[in-house]
Amino acid sequence: VNDKDVRYSDFDTVIDTILDAPEDQPVELSFIEPNKVAKGRASISVITSDGSVVSNIVALKGQMLRTVLLENNIKLYDGKATFTNCGGAGTCGTCAVDISNNEFWYERPQFEALRLKKYPPSARLACNTIIEGDCTVVIKPPKIT
């Protein structure tokens, strides 16, 4: 707003900034794509179920985990799931990952727990997981018996 950075401000502060602008001048607004607003960086270590390191990714908090993994060429799907996955709708379960070292993340929702009942309690759907900070992600985690 008029060259003042309000990206991290709450709604009321943004409105107050607009209202405080000089009345005799037009208000200039610059809009930024939400994914390009830095909410802080997060370091993500991506490993396979046998512990092999696949990649270390720097992402932004607030981004969707599935999107970040795919944009970084992480092979999230195998076999026919490459073609039959739900595209991020949270209905197929083929993007299951196991997330650890994520102390301050929200717990997975109940519908995810039901979809992932064959996986450990730390498993999440990558398509339904918003990055909330640093973590370790195991792609294609083993199912529990």
pTM above 0.85, yes or no: no
Provide DSSP, 37-62.
Answer: S---EEEEEEEETT--EEEEEEEETT
Q: What is the pLDDT of residue 8?
A: 63
Q: Is the dihedral of CA 120, 56, 49, 78 positive or negative?
A: positive
Whether the per-residue pLDDT at 16 is higher than 60: the answer is: yes
Question: What residues does 42 pair with on adjacent strands?
Answer: 59
Mean predicted confidence (pLDDT) in 68-92:
92
Q: How far apart are CA 7 and CA 1, in angstroms?
A: 10
